[in-house]
Amino acid sequence: MSESTARAPDRLALSDGKFIATREMMAALGRSAVHACKYRVDSADDAAGTLTFTTGVTMGSWTGVSGTIIYREASPYLFEVIGSAKQNVKGGQVVALDLFGEAKGKVDNVIAEMRRQASAGDVAPVSAESSAATGCAVLLFGLAFVPAALVVGHFV
């Protein structure tokens, strides 16, 4: 089927690990997958097919992981998705170790979520302004009670 006769798909689908979609569908799918993983979308360039995101605190970095998802149109309406990531080093942090391939794992999580949503057909609409919670507040809140629980346990 030539590019001029290829018809735009009505809905997102997954075939042999590739996405059958329009560029707009891929952009929405990427945003939805990042938010479903509880990461924050930093920027998106729908024309270039890139989406960058940041996670919350990770084992290797207090400032998380920065990742990029790239969706490339291999043929009309058939997209391949790849990604890359790195541990962030900001502020007083001197080094950020990529423990056990953690950064790549975050990208793999997003791509797996994209595949899951495409297979299930449940891409959730996400506004460009919304940002997902990173879980940092919950982590810090939980850590505040650990010393108190240890002290109470000592006296009981």
- Domain at 33, CATH number: 3.30.310.80
Q: What is the pLDDT of residue 22?
A: 95
Q: What is the pLDDT of residue 142?
A: 41
**Residues facing residue 54 across a β-bridge:** 40, 66
Q: Does a structural domain hold residue 6?
A: no
Number of domains the chain contains: 1
pTM: 0.74
Q: What is the pLDDT of residue 101?
A: 82
Q: How far apart are CA 62 and CA 129, in angstroms?
A: 24
Q: Give the other-Cβ count within 10 Å of 64's Cβ.
A: 24
Which structural domain, as residue segments, surrounds residue 34?
A: 13-155
Q: What is the pLDDT of residue 122?
A: 75
Q: Does a structural domain hold residue 87?
A: yes
In the predicted model, residues of the chain with pLDDT beneath 70 are 1-5, 90-94, 96-98, 126-156
Q: Does a structural domain hold residue 105?
A: yes
Query: How far is the CA of 154 from the CAs of 70, 80, 149, in angstroms?
Result: 52, 56, 8
